[in-house]
């Protein structure tokens, strides 16, 4: 990573879409460790700045979620929850879900939804 990139957090790691009170985060890039950490920071900043009440992380394009990515996603969700914001993950590929469960990894603090619509429905009910 170029030093300038991470520097002032001006550049977002992932472009996000505001949807009602929710923030949609479609992950379309490789989640290397640094990226997932910067994504965490970005999500927390956006919750704070935009007064987001729910985050929907769309991981349908992500083909590997390993233990550290899982850890950071869960941690982000835990921190978001403490900030009054629920995190829903949607579109998790079946083989990724299988791999995680076989490894004994649970996405703590994260709500799992099949689709984007489901995610929105779940968040609507949580309000």
* 96 is a contact residue toward other proteins (CB under 8 A): yes
Least distance CB 78 / its own copies (angstroms):
6
Contacts for 63 with CB less than 8 Å, ≥ 6 apart: 93, 96
Distance from C-alpha of 10 to C-alpha of 6, rounded to nearest angstrom: 8
* 41 is a contact residue toward other proteins (CB under 8 A): no
**Which residue(s) pair with 18 in the sheet?**
23
Least distance CB 85 / its own copies (angstroms):
8
**Residue 84 contact partner, candidates other proteins, its own copies, none, CB within 5 to 8 A by sort of partner:** its own copies
**Residue 47 contact partner, candidates its own copies, other proteins, none, CB within 5 to 8 A by sort of partner:** its own copies
Least distance CB 66 / other proteins (angstroms):
4
Q: Using CB atoms within 10 A of its CB, is residue 23 exposed (0-12), middle (13-18) or buried (19+)?
A: buried
Cβ closer to its own copies: 1 or 102?
1
* String of DSSP letters for 71-86: HHHHHHHHHHHHTT-E
Which window, 18-26, 77-85, 101-109, 112-120, contacts other proteins (CB under 8 A)? 101-109
Distance from C-alpha of 85 to C-alpha of 55, rounded to nearest angstrom: 7
* 40 is a contact residue toward other proteins (CB under 8 A): no
């Amino acid at each position: 990573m170029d030093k300038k990139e991470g520097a002032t957090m001006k550049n977002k790691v992932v472009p996000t879409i505001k949807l009602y009170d929710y923030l949609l985060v479609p992950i379309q890039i490789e989640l290397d460790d640094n990226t997932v950490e910067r994504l965490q920071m970005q999500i927390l900043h956006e919750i704070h700045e935009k007064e987001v009440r729910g985050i929907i992380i769309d991981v349908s394009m992500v083909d590997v979620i390993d233990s550290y990515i899982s850890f950071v996603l869960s941690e982000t969700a835990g921190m978001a929850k403490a900030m009054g914001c629920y995190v829903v993950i949607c579109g998790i590929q079946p083989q990724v879900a299988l791999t995680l469960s076989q490894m004994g990894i649970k996405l703590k603090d994260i709500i799992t939804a099949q689709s984007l619509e489901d995610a929105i429905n779940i968040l609507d009910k949580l309000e």
